[in-house]
Chains A and B, each alone.
Chain A
């Protein structure tokens, strides 16, 4: 036996056909790995093409916008040659003129103006108007431009053009934090009446935490009931929990509109039984309350199901043992039952919280003015204002906030303790 092992350590093991065992093993493993990869490949490609690449592109848009820089070669060259702070002289206006003539030809003045308009409001028509008359403009260009519109002499406009002449920018992250640059390039807060994103981010956080807390409070007893009831009754209850899952999100949200609006079912009922009079109908929708009620309802199954699957595995004998050893029912619940449900509470809570942070259809429909969340503004910039760069910056920030909460959760509870079912 000892001889054999000694022998083995010297002469390499071979397969029957004389190849080294190590190489043969590696080869067969490689084949298996290739086969495994081929099995995973469709999913991998699907995720890459439909998820990772578009999201990566979107995130890139938050720091990359060539709307202005792509159409101003002459001006870019001038900015490169003249560092910030140099006087805006005739050569700069001549470069601007050359670019505007080109813009007129390619019909791109609107695009370029839009990019600068993000930075300094009211400058878009500056570009479209100047491009329209660019071909007829005579040197000296500085006077000609200033005669056209005195805004062309505004240092802030030139600062914005310099900044936009480079496609890479942090401007959109500044905007997403209610900040902007002044004429000297220093970062300052936007005027009070214009600040909206930080407030909405905070509101999104508060609303999501509230909704998560309510979901857990309501979901916990239901999940407990589901886990302890006899099979037949539990199944019936389970169908009620799952029913909303099988209904379209829009249908559920509009159902809440029918129920909660001022001329709705609930208000009619309250008036009919005399709790309120016809003049005092309660505003339950088109405000924050509407958002909270509808979202809690829609997200409730996401807390109940993980909780249920965890509670199902807790043997009832533990609580019985605690009781027989003299614990009150409250102590038994607090010290024996509750700690065992924590993986479910964590999973359900985190799931609801993350989903709530990104919700937008429901708040858009039932949230009115004060029930809007940050995702509604992301949608606004995606679909209406078409400032995709700002939308991307806001989305990236939202992603970071969610990741921070994920990290905190991991530090406090531990992600390995999470149990989804």
Chain B
């Protein structure tokens, strides 16, 4: 069965596999991929001569899992969320990573101590800490700017459409938080039937006003088009729209959802050695700090923080835009990868049923 699948799908992969000194790197697209190309890809190619093909996906874990399932892996390196990294590692789809291969900090601190807790996994190494936050259009919300998740759910106070991610993950947490559940209890509540009902009931209050999005590039677009007055989305994307494109956007840091983005190397990656070299290179102190020049995601190494200064325009201070800045970390909801590995199927089913109902 699997062999037949291999035969029928292998044809497409032949050309990609035949190439040498090339890396297929899958990431999330948009301004995030731009930051990686500038901070990692270009210097790596300049140093080693290895050409990097940057491929975009709504969620890079999806093509990776599909390729592994079909037995035809063409991806060398993928940028995935924490829950997907752990899940795929459990399923034996990823190459284990030895922390010893990661370079130490400039002052000699070993990588295992330099990275923030949880950033080095069995098969993955984090590059950034990012947040899903709520952004609004300053010109459309009246005189008093929204500051809380409650404002997002209050369509009487702030009339207009809301943009939301079309998936159970992040949406359900946000609803429970808006309903008054403390961030550290969200997953406990969400694990029960009542908790799921409570989250969906909260979402029901604004269901008719929601415009659903799927790709990370959509929320700033919806906001800029005036289709929505508020939307959740990835903080770096809003930063790019606000600072680089001068859009009148503001950010609500209340109830921000924190996650890592991690590099993973699939088992059977065509260019394993180069992929490992790239992984070590791109997660060194300088490279992680460089990336923060391009997008407002927090570096996963403590030693990088000191090197983060101004945005590449040379005048915008990055700190107010970083999800890891103390003033922005008021009530962060940290993702629980084990919870999602367990309840992904069930909650998405319930979410889909609610969505269709």
Among A57, A110, A286, A370, the residue within 8 A (CB) of B4 is: A57
Q: Are A194 and B225 in contact (CB under 8 A)?
A: no
Query: Within 8 Å CB of A380, what residues of B?
Result: 348, 352
Q: Which of A9-17, A118-126, A209-217, A297-305 contacts B (4 or more CB under 8 A)?
A: A118-126
Known A193-B200, A386-B66; contact A372-B355, beta-carbon cutoff 8 A: yes
Q: Are B348 and A385 in contact (CB-based, < 8 A)?
A: yes
| A121 CB to nearest chain B CB (Å) | 3
| Residues in B neighbouring A377, C-beta threshold 8 A | 352
Complex CA–CA separation, A114 to B91 (angstroms): 9
**Cβ-defined contact, A117 with B345, below 8 A:** yes
Pick the contact of B227 from A128, A199, A263 — CB < 8 Å? Answer: A263
* Alpha-carbon distance between A385 and B348 when the two chains are bound, in angstroms: 9
Q: Are B356 and A370 in contact (CB-based, < 8 A)? A: yes
Contacts of A369 in B (CB 8 A): 207, 210, 212, 355-356
Q: Are A117 and B342 in contact (CB under 8 A)?
A: yes
Could you tell me the distance between the alpha carbons of A199 and B348 in the complex, rounded to whole angstroms?
16
B349 at the interface (CB under 8 A from A): yes
Kindly provide the distance from the CB of A399 to the nearest chain B CB, expressed in whole angstroms: 19
Q: With an 8 A cutoff between CB atoms, is A109 at the interface?
A: yes
Mask of A375-391 contacts with B, CB within 8 angstroms, 1/0: 00100100111111000
A319 within 8 A of B: no
Q: In whole angstroms, what is the CA distance A295 to B345 when docked?
A: 30
Which residues of chain B (1-46) have a CB below 8 Å from chain A? 1, 4-5, 8
Residue contact B91 to A196, C-beta cutoff 8 Å: no
Asked if B1 and A60 make an inter-chain contact with CB atoms under 8 angstroms apart, the answer reads yes
Complex Cα distance, B165 from A59, in Å, reads 31
Determine if B225 and A261 form an interchain contact, defined as CB atoms under 8 angstroms apart. Answer: yes
- B320 interface hit (Cβ, 8 Å): no
The reply to whether B345 and A387 contact each other, CB–CB distance below 8 Å, is yes
- Contact call A200/B356, Cβ cutoff below 8 A: yes
Whether B227 lies near A125 (C-beta < 8 A) is no
A193 close to B345 (CB less than 8 A): no
- What are 24 A-B residue pairs whose CB atoms fall within 8 Å in the complex? A49-B8, A50-B8, A57-B8, A107-B92, A109-B90, A110-B89, A110-B91, A117-B345, A121-B342, A122-B346, A123-B342, A125-B341, A125-B342, A194-B353, A196-B353, A261-B225, A262-B161, A263-B226, A368-B211, A370-B356, A372-B355, A384-B59, A386-B66, A386-B69
In the complex, per-residue mask of A175-202: 1 if CB is within 8 Å of any chain B CB, else 0: 0000000000000000001111001100
Question: Across the interface, do A383 and B66 meet the contact criterion of CB distance under 8 Å?
Answer: yes
In the complex where A117-B342, A193-B354, A194-B353 touch, is A107 in contact with B91 (Cβ < 8 A)? yes
Cα–Cα distance between A122 and B4 once the two chains are bound (Å): 32
Q: Which residue of B lies closest to A200 (CB)?
A: B356
| Interface residue? A76 (CB, 8 A) | no
Question: Which of B212, B341, B345, B357 lies in contact with A286, CB distance below 8 A?
Answer: B212
Within the complex, which residue of B59, B66, B87 is in contact with A110, where a contact is CB–CB below 8 Å?
A: B87
Say whether A193 contacts B350, CB under 8 Å.
yes
CB of A122 within 8 A of CB of B66, answer no
The interface residues of chain A lying within 8 Å CB-to-CB of B350 are 193-194
Please report the total number of B residues contacting A with Cβ < 8 Å: 44
Q: Does A54 contact B (CB under 8 A)?
A: yes
- The A-contacting residues of B in range 131-173, CB under 8 angstroms, are 161, 167
- B-contacting residues of A (Cβ < 8 Å)? 49-50, 53-54, 57, 60, 64, 106-111, 113-114, 117-118, 121-125, 128, 193-196, 199-200, 203, 261-263, 286, 368-370, 372, 377, 380, 383-388
Q: How far is the CA of A118 from the CA of B346 in the complex (A)?
A: 8
Find out whether the CB atom of A196 lies under 8 angstroms from the CB atom of B349. yes
B302 within 8 A of A: no
Per the bound structure, the CA–CA distance linking A286 and B163 in Å amounts to: 12
B57 to chain A: closest residue by CB: A383
Over the window 182-197 of chain B, the binary record of Cβ atoms lying under 8 Å from chain A Cβ atoms (1 yes, 0 no) is: 0000000001000011
Interface residues of B in 106-146 (CB under 8 A from A): none
Residues of A within 8 A of B354 (CB): 193
Whether A384 touches B62, Cβ cut-off 8 Å, given contacts A194-B349, A369-B355, is yes
Point out the residues of chain A lying under 8 angstroms from B48, CB to CB.
none
State which residues 58-111 of B face A: CB under 8 Å. Answer: 59, 62, 65-66, 69, 87-92
